[in-house]
Structure 1
Amino acid sequence: MRDRQIKDQERRGRSDQGARSAVTGGKQMDGFVRKIIELMTASGVDEGNIYTKRTHLPGFFRPVKGWDIVVVVDGELQAAIELKSQVGSSFGNNFNNRTEEAMGTALDIWTAYREGAFRTSPAPWLGYLFLLEDCPGSRSPVRTQEPHFPVFEEFRGASYAKRYELFCRKLVRERQYNAACFIIADRERSRSDENYIEPAEDLSANLFLSQLTRHVGDRR
């Protein structure tokens, strides 16, 4: 999808700088959105209660935040899901941006929930799904900067793939999100039947989706 967006913009003579044309085009995660909706409706959720537009939810530190998928039933917020990806270069800068964004989003919505932003809604189910390109840049060991204090041992020599795995796991362990899914995919294998890897069982798509469907199915 991203490659196609770059080519489309080049044909129109509106190519953004670098890989930005793929980023600004959107829709890269639409396949995930469709599958998640399919599974939720199969579990009994009315598709009219699943939103992929008009997904803005109130925050505490900012007025609103748009999510990728929101489930609202009878005025109650049941679930909110964030889908993110990273491909190409600049893994370092993008890793910092992605982690800060995810942590800030969780803090914002949980604080808003505490302050009664969602009225009588029970605690919502928050999900975070991350897709990373499988390539030398994401797999190679990365040195850490430690000018004053040592970093935690698990980060020493960890690739960006490992850093994202650790990050997703810690988001769940620290109860920032109810579940996280981490997938690595090689674009050269995109048309193969087996075209992705799940590095960690506790961050698998099966666990993520089963928890989601169980939650929204129980409360429909």
Structure 2
Amino acid sequence: MADTMRGDRTDRTRSWRRPKQMKLADMVGEGVYVASAATRLTLKNTILVEILAHGEDFAVERFLPEARDVLLSLADEAQADAARVESERKRASRRHTDSYGTHDYRSRDVRNLRRRQRQSEQVAQVLRERAEDPEELRKLVEDAREAAWSEVERNIDSALRIEAARPDLEPDYAKLRDARMQSLRLVDLPRLAAHRRRNAQGAAGELAAAAPAKPGRADLSELE
């Protein structure tokens, strides 16, 4: 019995353990990945505007300066975040009372804040290194171009499917038509009929309430 109780306590203790934190290298890699995705999105939008809207020719070298500027801007944001976290960490190290909120840091939060500071600093460093790497910049522009062309292709394909839609070209048209007609009979039409009945009943009720009362026999008790 005692062994069973100890086993239960052990299982509960294990279930209460907090999950392990991510390694710093993984955190930095995640931050760099998000920054790279944001850079590609910015470049993709620029390519769509410059090439498609304005009719300009595409050249990788033309977009390299913008790719560099975006990376450096994101590096500056990461560095500013590191400075902010460092300030919060210093204040938290002097506070030993209970916290009053999520961002009300105390001395026990110093370790996590230091990790966040180091993460932001290393992300900023990696982004600055990539901003000075021509091959990395070229890869970002090429990936952004592929994303832009994919978006254009999807839009064109969707437009053509809508404009050129024909029942005889749809292999499952008959099957889908039967399903749509059954849904119309069993769901849409009964719902429409119920809606019309409710409207008719509501209108009848309003007319009855507005109609004048019919004259009847007077209540003589009211004259007393």
Please report the TM-score for the alignment, with normalisation by the length of structure 2. Answer: 0.22
